[in-house]
Amino acid sequence: MTNIAQTLLTQSALIAFLFCFALVWGIMQAFRVLVFFTRWSVALAKFIWPVIVKPTFGKLSFTLAIAFVLFLWRSQFSDAIQYFEQSYISPVYENSDTSTHAIACFELEAQKHLDEYEFRIFKAETQSIANETGSTLLAYYMVYLSECGMNPFVIRDDGNAAACIQFTRTGLENIQISGVPARLADVKGMCYDRDIKGIMSLTRQYMLKCAKGKPLTRPCDVYACVFAPSFVGMPDNTVLYQGYNNPQYYKNAGLDGYKLVNGKYMRLNSYCDGKITISDLALALEAKKSKLMRSYFKRSFVE
């Protein structure tokens, strides 16, 4: 805008004068609009003033008493709000769809972050890794959605995890790049450079290393391999992390508290038991998948 103003002021006398006239007129109009809204704001305040609750001792005492009761029952109140929202405002229904339609929803999400070449490599390499680990393309996509939002170049806000399965320093142990031990800085560099081949190569190494030949037949098996690889193949009630004061639980507390209630995925604070199990991983993945598919169904319906 300043460049345009400078350019117009250095044009012919007629153009410069017309610009000056328009500028002054515009400032006058802006001032009139400001005065108009100020007057209406004052008038509105005067209009609603009679119905505003006046702070008397009795009213303040009553408000404090009700607020104290609400404070004591704040967890239940929070759950009630969540329950109402998840039941009636934005319910996420159970969805067992594993068809190409489900895969297409995930791929549309990935294409928001990838160009045509990157997406082609991303899909082909994921399918290849899935084949090698006895899994499916959809199972990996579900884990990607939970870990990186289908953006393989994402770096976590704290800088301690990056790429499609959110590599950490610990997760990179025994992973190599051209025969040299991989570092988190290397992975973040690949994200900055959008090196999709390099990222998928590291993903393949990690998954094969952690699966140890065990077939990852379900999405939660793939997620266990990423989330807590020492528990791959264990029963669904196996506790992976527990304890509200445990940093590992605290970082991943968002996976706790999911239940399937009357065909709807629900997550309430009262459902959280301070333990993350393989079953919790399965429910969290299915809930996020159903939510994603619902968003694309709504979008298609509107269009």
Distance CA 222, CA 216 (A): 6
Q: pLDDT tens-digit profile of 21-73?
A: 999 999 999 999 999 999 999 999 999 988 888 889 999 999 999 999 999 99
Residue 285 Cα distances to 54, 280, 282, angstroms: 50, 9, 5
Query: Above 90 in pLDDT, residue 169?
Result: yes
* C-alpha 83 chain-centroid distance: 20
Question: In terms of residues, how long is the chain?
Answer: 303
Mean pLDDT of 223-232: 94
| Cα–Cα distance, 191 to 163 (Å, whole number) | 7
User: How much is the pLDDT for 302?
Assistant: 44
Amino acid at 265: Y
Top CATH class of 91-302 equals mainly alpha
Boundaries of every domain in the chain: 91-302
Q: In this structure, are residues 286 and 113 in contact, taking their beta carbons and an 8 Å threshold?
A: no
pLDDT band at 299 (very low <50, low <70, confident <90, very high): low
